[in-house]
Structure 1
């Protein structure tokens, strides 16, 4: 069997309630035992799965079950407290995609900055600049400070930049919650084009229609565990049955 593009091996991650987030930097080098301390809880534990190149995986579960955290582990933004995450290939992270943009810079400068931070060369950005702007449909605002854009326009330009990356793995986390119907469909078609080109999709969403549209396989997280790994239809049926009972 081919080497997985994503391997999650017996992974666990914990948080602190009393600090509202992850452990601090000092804690990374102390208290490395696996016992939970006062105020700590495990978001999930003993989670294992492999993803092969070209698969489209949907992650489902109730709020607070670690879906977005799992995506951030794959992206390398968060480190596990237990186990190991291996990613063989670059990622295009459609996760909190407007977070890296600088308010006081223009749209043009933000395109160069963000695309550059994700590994595109200046020549590649120049070659794709018009395509990025045309896709986002904000050509009249390229020299406007980013902070003056509407929330929908910010999502448009951010999605356009990240979706131009040639990375083999796409990570998507509810990024299309903002925007008009026409632009959402445009983004969906872009994702389908990427999948048709053999890219791998790791997709977190509460939208069952979107999950069925893009994904063939599902992961169901609940009560700190991976409850089911299987065909997306089976995973959604199990999730809906348990969520609504």
Structure 2
């Protein structure tokens, strides 16, 4: 694997073949995809840290979903890619949907884990409050990490998979506080993309204990997409690729096989 810095973003690139652009979610990094990397070994895997997240610089101006989508399109251009498959998680799934609408010639398929169209209105004040908390610094980021570990993972994960809890906690604790706060702001302000305009195969994967992307909401999302299929993972919360990597890898491989 090679790491390049492109437009201020740290980008991990591995393998050869058709390009897969991997877009992590809020509090994530390119390491969200490490547990399922084997499912992508026949592709060129391109996994950036989003602007303001993990190793990537925070650009001037406030982050937005549209701006993050533009940064993904700019990354593809910088790498000379005319089309990509996309794999995304959480906030990254919203970015991916906006990218597919804005750049339909670029996106060949969407595999979305913990997918959401936009936050429900009732959740937006809490996300903004989390942004304010993050700006208090490293100790506050630890508090946020502990809350997310308890609230966004499945009960089986919490009882049986301490390494997963450690990975989620570490991902969030290591986020730059201002970058995380601005990413929260981007999520809180996010609006639905025009899903009805997306005409590529879409895989939607959620957990049966995912409170961020609950199964009924994901099913409703699928109804707005022309070519979507839904998988609900038992015993799984929101951090799907970390909590259920084998099942996620299986579903992703099966999805890509159907595209051939």
Structure-1-length-normalised TM-score: 0.32
Greater helix proportion: 2
Q: Whose relative contact order is higher, 1 or 2, with alpha carbons under 8 Å and at least 6 apart? A: 1
Larger Rg: 1
